[in-house]
């Protein structure tokens, strides 16, 4: 475990003295959301080899077998859940970097569709969190958890899906896909920061700055580049993923959809279709949240998850 005390604000990321430390920002998360600041943070980075020769990386929080597993959206990484986990009191949790994202390896075939992701997730959960009480997935991660629940049902006791259904299409996800399809490299940190702020008007600048530092890196010539594999993601069309509604129909675990009230990604017709296929599903709308509920309203999401664990 790594004990990380609050550190002074890091220098300008374009400064020659700047050195990224992924464990150095938790104090900022706590301060921004008025959370108690722990004396230390029970978190470590781990890597797990996959049968296909690649590896999946994850942040393992707390002690003991994880009760929660978190799966991020496309072009994100495991740190998108930091504030939520801190608000929950650092429970035993596993925050996974999907293949091609964060510290996980890229797939040779460039396939990052939900069913391919689900097979990789199944290996990780079987090994590291076989008794997890709740699996949480957002956006691409939510579609991947749907596939996991359908094809690896023994690993999913309860699913919380954040702001996505198989009804997503290019029009509904336009803001998301436009952002992902943008430049891969930027002349300096200010450029990558300004573009991120432009596409995320509901987020604080502090959280966006942290998010970029967790999701991009500075090259030797001083330019900045996104970490994630852009093959498939930048031009991904959710409608080409296949009949993912069938995965929803095939799942049997308790199912909660968390909608961002200000997000266009899930509409009322999607909710109707979900309840037609899963009449026992529940839906919660989070006011003041867009597509990234964990980024816009992390404390509210922690409250929802606390109830699911209870």
Residue appearing with tokens 């699996």: 135
Task: Single out the catalytic residue among 104, 120, 291, 292.
Answer: 291
Two structure tokens written together for 19? 């050195």
DSSP tally for the chain: helices H, then strands E: 11, 11
Angle at 83 between CA 64 and CA 68, to 5 degrees: 35
CA distance 297 to 139: 16
The residues facing 285 across adjacent strands are 259
Is 152 assigned a catalytic role?
no
Q: How many CA atoms lie within 13 A of 308 on its CB side?
A: 29
CA distance 254 to 216: 36
Task: Single out the catalytic residue among 82, 113, 163, 296.
Answer: 163
CA dist list (Å): 21 to 25, 96, 129? 8, 18, 26
Residue appearing with tokens 């336009």: 174
Is 101 assigned a catalytic role?
no
Two structure tokens written together for 200? 């995320």
Which ranges constitute the DSSP H helices of 129-267? 140-151, 174-180, 189-199, 205-215, 245-250
Cα dihedral sign, 154-258-57-98: positive
CA distance 46 to 59: 6
Task: Single out the catalytic residue among 139, 144, 207, 251.
Answer: 139
Identify whether the C-beta of residue 227 lies closer than 8 Å to the C-beta of residue 215. Answer: yes
CB-count exposure of residue 308 (10 Å: 0-12, 13-18, 19+): middle
Is 291 assigned a catalytic role?
yes
CA distance 259 to 281: 13
Q: Which residues are catalytic?
A: 139, 163, 291
């Amino acid at each position: 475990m790594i004990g990380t005390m609050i550190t002074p604000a890091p220098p300008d990321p374009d400064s020659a003295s700047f050195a990224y430390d992924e464990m150095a920002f938790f104090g900022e998360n706590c301060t921004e959301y008025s959370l108690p600041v722990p004396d230390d943070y029970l978190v470590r980075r781990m890597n797990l080899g996959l049968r296909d020769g690649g590896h999946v990386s994850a942040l393992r929080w707390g002690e003991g077998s994880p009760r929660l597993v978190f799966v991020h959206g496309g072009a994100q990484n495991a740190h998108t859940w930091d504030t939520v986990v801190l608000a929950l009191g650092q429970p035993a949790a596993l925050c996974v970097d999907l293949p091609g994202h964060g510290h996980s390896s890229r797939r040779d075939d460039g396939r990052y569709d939900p069913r391919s992701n689900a097979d990789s997730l199944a290996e990780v959960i079987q090994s590291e969190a076989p008794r997890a009480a709740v699996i949480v997935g957002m956006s691409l991660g939510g579609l991947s958890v749907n596939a996991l629940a359908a094809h690896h049902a023994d690993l999913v006791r309860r699913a919380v899906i954040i702001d996505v259904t198989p009804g997503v299409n290019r029009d509904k996800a336009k803001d998301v896909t436009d952002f992902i399809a943008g430049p891969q490299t930027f002349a300096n940190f200010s450029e990558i920061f300004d573009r991120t702020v432009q596409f995320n008007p509901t987020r604080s600048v502090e959280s966006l700055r942290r998010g970029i530092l967790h999701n991009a890196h500075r090259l030797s010539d001083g330019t900045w580049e996104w970490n994630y594999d852009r093959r498939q993601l930048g031009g991904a069309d959710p409608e080409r993923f296949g009949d993912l509604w069938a995965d929803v129909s095939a799942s049997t675990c308790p199912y909660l959809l968390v909608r961002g009230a200000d997000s266009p990604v899930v509409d009322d017709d999607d909710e109707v279709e979900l309840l037609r296929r899963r009449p026992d599903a529940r839906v919660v709308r989070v006011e003041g949240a867009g597509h990234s509920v964990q980024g816009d309203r992390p404390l509210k999401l922690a409250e929802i998850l606390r109830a699911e664990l209870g």
